[in-house]
Amino acid sequence: MNFGEEFSLQVRLANKSYHQYLYKFLGQMDVPYHYQIILLLSRLGGKLSQKVLCEHLSIERSNMATIIDMLVEKGYVTRAVNYRDRRGRLIVLTPKASEVIESLEASFQHFEANVTNEISWQEMYSCLRVLKIINNNLHQLSQQAEGEKASLVLSD
């Protein structure tokens, strides 16, 4: 098996196992699939534009709109006027989201204490660094492929 095959398999298995683990903690909450949006908003000051959320999480704008509608309906976020760009809206965390954030932080602490107990902090951060580099490289390749495809269409 080459690196690409092994990498693909291990990332898939780790993703599946991690989310099964995490959903046990998030099962009592009604946002198990959209917790990353709440966390990102929290990390970046509690309010962001939909465009920034889409860029950070690589989610299509139309899909993000549906997710935000659901989070608004459940009371985790609100939409507010963006005074810097009146065409857009800011997505703002509500106090209800703070409760979810506390639960998420507790589940991440549990994860770190129980799942990473045989892994040094150097190994954990090296793993994150490598995954970020691979993700960035794949993103660049994808953009290059889209550019090449567009230039082929234009030349026809």
Q: What is the DSSP letter of 89?
A: E
Under 8 Å between Cβ of 46 and 12: no
In whole angstroms, give the CA distance from residue 94 to residue 79.
10
Q: For the whole model, what pTM was predicted? A: 0.74
pLDDT at 150: 60
CATH of 3-118, one of 1.10.10.60, 1.10.10.10, 3.10.20.30, 2.10.240.10: 1.10.10.10
pLDDT at 155: 60
Digitized pLDDT (tens) for each residue of the chain, 156 residues in all: 798 899 999 999 999 998 888 888 777 777 767 888 999 999 999 999 999 999 999 899 889 999 999 999 999 999 998 888 777 789 999 999 988 888 888 888 888 888 888 899 999 999 999 999 998 998 889 888 777 766 655 565
Nearest to 78 by CA among 90, 64, 61, 60: 90
Tokens of 53: 């959320």
Q: Which residues are CB-neighbours of 92 under 8 A, at least 6 positions away?
A: 41, 46, 47, 77, 78, 79, 80
Give the helix ranges, DSSP H, for 27-120: 35-43, 50-57, 61-73, 95-114
CA torsion, points 16, 21, 26, 28, in degrees to nearest 10?
120
